[in-house]
């Protein structure tokens, strides 16, 4: 039986929005507070999809068990909250993609591991809150990606079955979560993919080089 796609679900950081400039600013601000040199943007960008903990690991070469880890992570988030959308913008092509999804009579939503206290104001600033069929943050459900729970919650909120959904992300956990939930998955190759990542081995249903490729993929596979 052919299942018509009805809902397009997006990861936030590195898929829907280019948040790396503001997160890089926050990490470098914490480094400078600790009298450490700032890191080049090119080193920080690939770590952004993995959240604040990954940024602290990168900047300070310490692990979560370290006594300084949590205070540094919280400080990074505090600075980031104050600069949430200074330089953040939707990736080129995303505004047009969202409009075309809506024009097709479909809906779309966001599933991110970012906590709601950052996700919701950011989507407000980007003018997307009222348009999204669902916004699922890292603390909306009991478990986060790569667990399928947030994916299933998003399907329910958007009024679609898993077979009617496609999830787009730029990290292996995104594809794993979508696959475990039973939905189609696409890798956003324009996102925060590190040099050592192997997206072709993640088992997604497709790869997209630009947001517009989502429509082409849907036309050929949906």
pLDDT, residue 217, reads 96
**Contact status, residue 48 vs residue 14, Cβ threshold 8 Å:** yes
With cut-offs at 50, 70 and 90, classify the pLDDT of residue 221. confident
CATH superfamily of 7-18+88-221: HAD superfamily/HAD-like (3.40.50.1000)
Q: What residue has token string 């890292």?
A: 138
**143 Cβ contact partners less than 8 Å away, ≥ 6 residues apart:** 149, 150
For 86, other C-beta atoms within 10 Å of its C-beta total 10
Residue pLDDT, tens place only, 133-172? 999 999 999 999 999 999 999 999 999 999 999 999 999 9
- Domain layout of the chain by residue ranges: 7-18+88-221, 20-82
Residues marked active site are found at: 11, 13
**Mean pLDDT, the chain, whole residue set:** 96
- Return phi, psi of residue 61, to 5°: 55, 40
Would the pLDDT of 1 be above 90? no
User: Is 3 a residue whose pLDDT tops 70?
Assistant: no
First-to-last alpha carbon distance for the chain, in angstroms, is 12
Say how far apart CA 175 and CA 163 lie, in whole Å. Answer: 15
Question: For residues 13 and 33, what is the distance between their CA atoms, to the nearest angstrom?
Answer: 25
């Amino acid at each position: 039986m052919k299942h018509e796609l009805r809902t397009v679900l997006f990861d936030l950081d590195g898929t829907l929005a280019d948040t790396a400039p503001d997160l890089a600013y926050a990490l470098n601000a914490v480094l400078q507070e600790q009298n450490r040199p700032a890191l080049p943007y090119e080193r920080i960008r690939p770590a952004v999809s993995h959240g604040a903990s990954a940024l602290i690991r990168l900047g300070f070469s310490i692990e979560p068990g370290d006594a300084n880890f949590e205070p540094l992570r919280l400080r990074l988030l505090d600075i980031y909250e104050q600069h949430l959308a200074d330089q953040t913008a939707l990736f080129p092509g995303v505004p047009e993609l969202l409009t075309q999804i809506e024009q097709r009579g479909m809906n779309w939503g966001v599933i991110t591991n970012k906590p709601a206290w950052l996700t919701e104001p950011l989507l407000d600033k980007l003018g997307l809150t009222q348009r999204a069929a669902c916004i699922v943050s890292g603390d909306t459900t009991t478990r986060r990606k790569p667990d399928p729970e947030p994916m299933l919650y998003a399907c329910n909120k958007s009024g679609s079955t898993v077979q009617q959904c496609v999830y787009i992300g730029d990290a292996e956990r995104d594809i794993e979560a979508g696959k475990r939930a039973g939905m189609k998955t696409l890798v956003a190759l324009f996102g925060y993919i590190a040099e050592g990542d192997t997206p072709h081995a993640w088992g997604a249903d497709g790869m997209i080089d630009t947001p517009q490729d989502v429509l082409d993929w849907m036309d050929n596979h949906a």
